[in-house]
Chain A
Amino acid sequence: MENCLGVINIGEGEGNFGSLCKNRPVYMLPFGGRYRLIDFTISNMVNYGIRTVAVFTGEKIRSTMDHLGNGKPWDLNRRFNGLFLFPPIQKPFGRNGDIAELYSTFDFFEQCKEEYVLIVHPNNIGSVNLNEAYKKFIETDADITLFYKKQIDPWGEYINCDKILLDRNNGFINMGLNLGTEKEFNMFIGMGFIKKKVLMEIVKKSMENGDANYLKQSILISKDRYKINTYEFKGHIEHINNIKSYYNANLNLLNKDISQELFFGGGPVFTKAKDEPSTLYTETSRVHNSLIANGCIIEGSVENSIIFRGVKIGKNAIVKNSILMQKSEVLENAIVVNTIMDKYSIIDRGIRLAGSSVMPYVVEKSQTIRKE
């Protein structure tokens, strides 16, 4: 895949994540005990041999800079190729949207030797076999290959997700919105291959004609001029577009098959190392069905939870169905149920905190919850 460039682009909108995304973009949300969402996308790319990765960071760039840095954890700190971060510029050419952003980085696309581009929306977590998809893209000589998954959705959890319409021969017709009218639909998973030449053409045209602000729109407008086909991804995908889906995606890792696939499916998931020692369990600890990262000291009870690096859980404390991010603490006798605790937050002694299983309670970053 040396001839393919990786582009990470958040496209339209970010969804509503409340305080969790006050200071971080959605793709920087902590995930799975020690990762950020974007780690999965970048690792997936480098594990399949993509050597140049460009990230359109969006506005909340500080956590991105801190985490991605020069790309070392992903071996993207290279003399040739490597990681390119594109911070936003204020309304490039007086326009909103990623078309203008892409247009503002034309030099980069022109200078890259790669002829093909893999564009990924980083809020989709999955271990996608890129070799297989790339092969189809190249063999069919498509201009664009869009990835979809047959998603069964009896509860309407995927309403408002992008839906791919196919004809009888599985030919691409159009992309629309899932309104929940069918039990199963073809969900667009925010990934696609595109010829670099075609991408630049589309972007340029939309800049010129002013007919679209977003790449997705732009592609659909010119869909009859290009050869667009699809690739069906059959594995597990987490589409993270709100607090609830973020919470569920984390807890889904307690399912053995899902965690196996995401963590080991296509090679290791790389992230910034933190040098935490192993986790210490004391005589009073009781832990069931939980994923626990390094550097924790656990003296209380934990059940159905995801515990990030360096978390402390005191004696007789109970943590259930919760996500405890890096360095958060639950002190003695406190009870935390159906809750997301952001980094460095503290639940004081004896406090009881519970969200509902439908919507978790969110403790803000660095917040301490105590009586009075």
Chain B
Amino acid sequence: MENKVVAMLLAGGQGSRLKALTRKIAKPAVPFGGKYRIIDFALSNAANSGISDIGILTQYKPYLLNTHIGIGTAWDYDRNVGGLRVLPPFTSEDGGRWYTGTANAIYENIDYIDELDPQYVLILSGDHIYKMDYRQLLKAHKEKGADVTIAVIEVPWEEASRFGIINVDDNKKVVEFDEKPKNPKNNMASMGIYMFNWKHLRKYLIKDSKDKESAHDFGKNILPNMLSEGRLMYAWSFDGYWKDVGTVRSYWEANMDLIDRDNALNIYDKGWRIYTKSKNLPPHYLSRSSVVKNSLINEGCVVRGEVHNSVLFSEVIIESGAVVTNSVVLSNSKIMPGAEVHNAVILEGVTIKEGERIGEEGDGNIYLVTEKGYTIE
């Protein structure tokens, strides 16, 4: 069908820099913003952009991720025609193998895409927080008649070497692709979102699969190969909120960003809702003794103590006399009477004992708290 787009969402990421947050789950399944998981943003973007087919490539500890995604009901992807497919690694006649890179994950699922026979394939990553209308990306892609269009965003110069950096000419045509350069010439980073013409991508994936030297990665192999062979590659600038929550600190920051009423992400935007699986919890309760300021509180919480500048996920209990500031408290955690928590990320189901103190206000550290204790970030 003309203009048909199939989205391929890479959701196998381990996210090892998130430490205890990804001990049991893949990075896209990490809870975020009170009631979401990171992958909800990409999935909601796809649903809101009218993309009807989406393949989800899973690999690393996928149990919770699969449970969360299910058959895609929350994003309206449980359909008769099209919809969502979870695509884990598999074995075939010539043996079983894990996905060895981003490009390899797509290569292994060529059959899935071929069956849908799209004109375009949109590669997405499940570990970023952002709202994007992929139709705008497709529009730019078609207007330029490109073979591939890469979504790019300006990142702070000091962070540029963490990303794939794109150098473009005046017409936004990509001239050079630097994967994690030591001395970036530019601060235009690839967001890991690519719109490909399927028939070209297909060829490069097959060629790449035969290359024993290749890391089978879009940034390291496929894109540089396409560029060197003169394929038309353009950059498309995104200027909204975008966060790669790669580290505990950036995870904490991205959660904190939501507390600002005028934050650029604006999860209250009815024109671009973020969908997630419902937990069927009652509203939260703030008692007579509670003090809640500048905070985001989700369903099922009971607050009897003080909460300042914090994000509470579902069913968190803050007992009377407890104080929580500048913290992110994941589901089912309990802060007992008289305990104090500052600048912390508290994992799911952790109890902070009576009178215990974690963190200091304004010491600049982030404390990652598990049931075994805490580490300083």
Contacts and interface: CB of A to CB of B under 8 A. Distances in A.
Interface in B297-333: 297-299, 311-312
Contacts of B288: 288-289
A34 B278 CA distance: 13
Interface of A: 32-34, 73, 254, 259, 263, 268-271, 273, 275, 277-283, 285, 287-295, 297, 306-307
Given A270-B280, A271-B280, A281 B292 contact: yes
B283 interface: yes
Nearest to A312: B268
Q: Main SS of the interface on chain B?
A: loop
Contacts of A275: 273-276
Contacts of B261: 280, 282, 297
Contacts of B181: none
B35 interface: yes
Contacts of A297: 261, 268
16 contacts: A34-B283, A268-B280, A268-B281, A269-B280, A271-B280, A275-B275, A277-B33, A277-B35, A277-B274, A278-B296, A278-B299, A280-B259, A280-B261, A281-B292, A282-B293, A307-B283
Q: Main SS of the interface on chain A?
A: loop
A295 B276 CA distance: 14
Given A275-B274, A295-B268, A289 B283 contact: no
B67 to A, nearest CB: 16
Contact of A283 (B267, B276, B293, B297): B293
Contacts of B274: 275, 277
B294 interface: yes
B351 interface: no
Interface string B103-116: 00000000000000
B297 to A, nearest CB: 5
Given A275-B275, A277-B34, A294-B299, A259 B285 contact: yes
B246 interface: no
B298 A289 contact: no
B287 interface: yes
Interface string B340-369: 000000000000000000000000000000
Given A269-B280, A273-B278, A279 B268 contact: no
Nearest to B263: A280
Nearest to A291: B283
B313 to A, nearest CB: 8
B278 to A, nearest CB: 4
Given A34-B283, A280-B268, A280-B296, 4 more contacts: A278-B298, A278-B299, A297-B268, A307-B283
Contacts of B285: 254, 259, 290-292
A283 B259 CA distance: 10
A307 B298 CA distance: 13
Contacts of B311: 278
Interface string B244-264: 000000000000001101000
Given A278-B34, A278-B311, A285-B293, A291 B284 contact: yes
B149 interface: no
B290 A288 contact: yes
Nearest to A279: B297
B33 A269 contact: no
A289 B278 CA distance: 25
B259 A293 contact: no
